[in-house]
Structure 1
Amino acid sequence: MSLNKDLRQLLKPYYWVNILLSISYVTCKRTAVICNFLFPNAECELDSRETEILFFLIIVVMLRTRKAGSVTMVNYLSASFVYTKIANLILWFYADIRYGLPYGALVILFALILPEPTYTGPEHITYFRGLQTLEEELKHHKTTWLVCLYAAWHPACVNFAPVFAELSASYSLDNLKFGKLDVGRYPDAAAKFRVQDGPTSRQLPTILLFNEGKEDMRRPQPDHTGKLQKFLFSKDNVKAAFDIDNIYQTCKEKLSVVKNNKKSE
């Protein structure tokens, strides 16, 4: 099911255009007809410097996508596009500045006219406009909150956004709510919840579970030595870590009791 969903996602122009841009240099260099036209005085094989650049690219993509918590094929591609296009830009300039300039122009053009598709499905999320609004909501002790602290510019947060939206659509109740707070815009919230909001932060996103107005647990969380434990933000991992199915059932039973009491009055 997930594979079919990913394949349908890849049919969107953003993905196949960026895939073409990401493999453009190697394809042109290894295709005899194109290579002989573009590089008439060169062999149609990658030299040692080009091979080094590609190996370095592979290492960077693997490291960065793992840190971003990418868990699906589409996530890996989205997280790797920026690095593959930079590598291709370097390779085109290395081969000939006359090819590097138009390639760079194409990358900029497609970035402007083909932005990355965003999640468009249903969601039941409250977007808090600052720390004060969140604290006011937490005063209502009868509501359980799952709150995602995120930054709009952070790749891991972008990847996690559709997962959190799907969870909110499936589990939201009157007494079980989902919220998001952009710590990039509201750094006082990051300070309050001890979350680093810099570009190298490993704490973005952070999910907080509040019961009776108090923080009950979070992911990712530090271990007993204070070292941050790695957490992959997949749908199944989040459901298991926070025991969302049981929380949903408990909240649903509480709602049922309240409704029955009102009927009996």
Structure 2
Amino acid sequence: MALFTDIKQLAHPYHLINLMMSLSFLITRYMPGLCELVFPAAQCGELSMWESEILFFMLVIIMFRSRKTGSRNMIAYISVFNMYAKVCNVLLWFSCDPLYGIIYIILAIIHFLVVGEPVYQGPEKVVYFQGKVLDEELQRDKHCIWLITFFTAWSPACSSLAPIFAKLSAEYSLDNLRFGKVDVGRYPEAAKHYHINDSSFSLQLPTISIFREGKEVERRPCLNAQAKFQKFYFTEDNIKAAFDLNNLYLECKKTLDAKKEKKEHIKSE
């Protein structure tokens, strides 16, 4: 079922065009007829030593980043591949002809602006905060427990987490158990305030934190005994287990029911 869902997502024009752009240099170099239109005939059907080294280095980076990503689904891996493959394609096209490199960058920008990445369309109960607004909300209502995701729009792992977090918010949200998100790419001051590294090589994207009485009590990924971030796979079951969402929901529900009974008792008197 999960594989079918991933394949269905890959059929979206955004991912199809992304894959074509990621493989554009190799396809052009090895496709008869097309190669002769772009490259000298002597270069068709083979890569130079420098081009091979660039591609090999790209594969090493992709494997390293894929191991560090917080998700195990196919979409996340392909998104990581596309991100680094397109960077390598810029280098490869520029090395052949600066004009090709400029055209490739323009096409990549058009793709990004015109064909947006598919987003989760299902139900969600998520509040999107702007920088310092989160801290103000946490201090305003200390009786509410918050699960907050710190993310960036460009991170494949964050994109993979989005539908999972939205689904959990729709399932577990209560008046005193709420879900929120902060884009630390847009609001770097929030990343600094909550001690989250928002660089492209960060192992903290995404990060989910739970706040009680306005204070953070737990987060994933977290530091281990050696002060290194432990790998955390952001699957639905892992998030439920890590934050004990079932018991947390029952606790908050019980609190709400007790308040409701108290109000009804006061009215009856």
TM-score, normalised by the number of residues in structure 1: 0.83
Distance change in 2, residues 1:190/1:98 (3 Å): closer
Residue of structure 1 equivalent to 2:222: 221
In 2, Cα distance between equivalents of 1:93 and 1:191: 36
Q: Which amino acid aligns with 2:68?
A: K
In 2, Cα distance between equivalents of 1:156 and 1:204: 7
TM-superposition CA deviations, 1:172-200 (whole Å, max 9, x none): 11221112234445555444433334454
Helix, strand or coil: the match of 1:146? strand
Higher mean displacement: 166-175 or 213-222 = 213-222
Provide the alpha-carbon RMSD of the alignment.
2.9
In 1, Cα distance between equivalents of 2:211 and 2:99: 57
Is the contact made by 1:128 and 1:134 (CA closer than 8 Å) also made in structure 2? no
* Deviation of the 1:2 alpha carbon: 1.8
Aligned residues: 265
Higher mean displacement: 118-127 or 149-158 = 149-158
Is the contact made by 2:70 and 2:231 (CA closer than 8 Å) also made in structure 1? no
Helix, strand or coil: the match of 1:203? coil
Residue of structure 1 equivalent to 2:124: 123
Is the contact made by 1:36 and 1:44 (CA closer than 8 Å) also made in structure 2? no
Helix, strand or coil: the match of 2:146? strand
In 1, Cα distance between equivalents of 2:170 and 2:231: 26
Distance change in 2, residues 1:23/1:240 (3 Å): same
* Deviation of the 1:241 alpha carbon: 0.9
TM-superposition CA deviations, 1:199-249 (whole Å, max 9, x none): 543333322212344332111222234332222323222122111122123
Q: Does 1:23 align with 2:23?
A: yes
Helix, strand or coil: the match of 2:41? coil
Helix, strand or coil: the match of 2:165? helix
Distance change in 2, residues 1:105/1:213 (3 Å): closer
Helix, strand or coil: the match of 1:49? helix
Q: Which blocks of at least 5 consecutive residues in structure 1 are unaligned?
A: none
TM-superposition CA deviations, 1:62-113 (whole Å, max 9, x none): 2234334242222222232232122223333444556445434333332332
Helix, strand or coil: the match of 1:5? helix
Residue of structure 2 equivalent to 1:7: 7
Residue of structure 2 equivalent to 1:172: 173
Q: Which amino acid aligns with 1:31?
A: M
Distance change in 2, residues 1:209/1:152 (3 Å): same
Identity in percent: 44
In 2, Cα distance between equivalents of 1:97 and 1:207: 42
Q: Which blocks of at least 5 consecutive residues in structure 2 are unaligned?
A: none
